């Protein structure tokens, strides 16, 4: 995986978070910002998981 590809994935993830929740992180402390971003990511993953259909293998 190239550095550009990793950066592209990170930018896409941050766009999704900003679009759904807020355009900026509201806390000032760096550690608090990291925790806020992680909480938003956790909530986004929960919402995405709730919308995924359950697949069943047909034999």
pLDDT beyond 70 at 1: no
What pLDDT, on a 0 to 100 scale, did the predictor assign at position 17?
A: 73
26 contacts 39 by C-beta, under 8 angstroms: no
Give me the percent of the chain exceeding a pLDDT of 90: 2
pTM above 0.85, yes or no: no
Mean pLDDT score, 36-59: 82
Instruction: Reply yes or no on whether the pLDDT at 14 is more than 80.
Output: no
CA distance 9 to 17: 13
What's the pLDDT score for residue 36? 85
Structure tokens belonging to residue 24 = 């900026």
DSSP letter for 57, please. -
**How large is the average pLDDT for residues 7-27?**
78
């Amino acid at each position: 995986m190239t550095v550009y590809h990793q950066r592209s994935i990170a930018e896409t993830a941050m766009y999704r978070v900003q679009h759904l929740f807020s355009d900026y992180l509201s806390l000032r402390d760096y550690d608090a910002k990291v925790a806020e971003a992680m909480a938003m990511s956790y909530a986004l993953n929960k919402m995405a998981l709730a919308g995924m259909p359950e697949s069943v293998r047909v034999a």
